[in-house]
A and B are shown apart, each in its own frame.
Chain A
Amino acid sequence: MENQKNNFTNAKLENTIGNLLRYGVLLSGVVVLAGGILYLIKYGTMTPDYVNFRLAPESLRGIGGIFAQAFQFQAAGLIQLGLLLLIATPVARVVFSVFAFFRQRDYLYMVITLIVLAILLFSFFLLNL
């Protein structure tokens, strides 16, 4: 009985994680596509230069700058916002799993998941993103 209940919650957990990943990726895909269309309308006829190692402008390297540009409907800013959402999708999956393990009273895996989350947050804040 206990086992059956556990299987049920596992299946539910897997289903919700599947949906979370799917919608996160679709949302980011739509934002990148919107930015991409604007980008191609604006710069489509220009010549690409990716042969040389030229970095992205400072304003497109952090959350603040990307949001500022995206809300002005700047093409490159919208693309970067979509990419940020894409990066956030697996992170959201980890956050969700913390709560899911907590609800299953699986404290061992709740702690394991919190460690993964801490490493992820460390990687973002280490660089003042």
Chain B
Amino acid sequence: MNILEFASLICLGSFGAGFLGALTGLGGGVVIVPMLTLLFGVNIRLAIGASLISVIATSSGAAAAYVKEGFSNIRIGMFLEIATTTGAIIGALMHPKLSTGLLAVILGIILLYSAFLSSRPRKDETPSDHPDKLAVLLRMQGSYPSLDGIKEYQVRQVPQGFGLMFIAGAVSGLLGIGSGAMKVLAMDQVMRIPFKVSTTTSNFMIGVTAAASAGIYLAGGYIRPGLTMPVVLGVLAGSLAGAKVLVKTKTSKLRIVFGVVVFILAVEMIYNGITGKI
């Protein structure tokens, strides 16, 4: 296989990852590293570098669409970015200290959680009429467009959400993924923010989070242009296409299919990490 064929195949795979990632709200980054390492035999540290940059493309590309739809809550996102960017720097600095096998196993575990999350049935209504004091102080309440008109919501458990966001940021910096699943967990389950607002605000935050560790990876030489180029272009095109389709499509069946794919990749990553194949 020469560089042209290699780049074309990687670009195609990345397009699919970006498309499904945007549609399911999990981000394409979560499958980029397994795809590069398991399918193409790419070194996991270089794969993580390429994935991290592509995560910025997915996030910014899709967020551009979501912000305009009025789903994202910019204030919540900005406040929580204090936690995610700090975590991201720590994660990126930790990365060289961990073995490739351990990185693969941790990524596998995160993937398993993502698969679980995407396969779960989802109810969009989250009653939250008892806001946290901090949430009131920070004016985090908001509204979003739904089928029954504009819906208002309150925000709860801000400190717990903030703590989880720090961990999500560290995982993002360590593994070059968007940590979308963990960010959504913090916002949807802990802070009780409506699901659609959680996923789109998470997407909006991912770019800034990844930017905080991207400089560290670039300066460390982990960003190889020949590898990152097809990944970024594929993911970018895929996520733009995915975000266009998202607002009109029911994604429950697709989430299950994507969940199964992610589950298989997770098991393979963990197996290869433990047996020392990665």
**Chain A interfacial positions (CB closer than 8 Å to B):** 10-11, 13-15, 17-19, 21-22, 24-25, 28-29, 32-33, 35-36, 39-40, 43-48, 50-58, 60-62, 75-76, 79-80, 82-84, 86-91, 93-94, 97, 108-109, 112-113, 115-116, 119-120, 122-124, 126-129
Contacts and interface: CB of A to CB of B under 8 A. Distances in A.
B221 A112 contact: no
Interface residues of B, number: 63
B224 A128 contact: no
A50 B215 contact: no
A83 B45 CA distance: 18
A115 B85 CA distance: 10
Contact of B208 (A54, A93, A124, A128): A93
23 contacts: A21-B60, A36-B233, A44-B4, A44-B7, A48-B2, A48-B3, A48-B226, A51-B41, A60-B221, A61-B220, A76-B225, A79-B229, A87-B218, A90-B59, A91-B211, A109-B78, A113-B78, A115-B82, A116-B81, A122-B89, A123-B212, A126-B216, A127-B220
Contacts, number: 207
For chain B, what secondary structure do more than half of its interface residues adopt (helix, strand, loop), or is it mixed? Answer: helix
B232 A17 contact: no
A22 B57 contact: no
Given A51-B41, A83-B218, A123 B89 contact: yes
A77 to B, nearest CB: 8
Nearest to A94: B208
Contacts of B210: 90
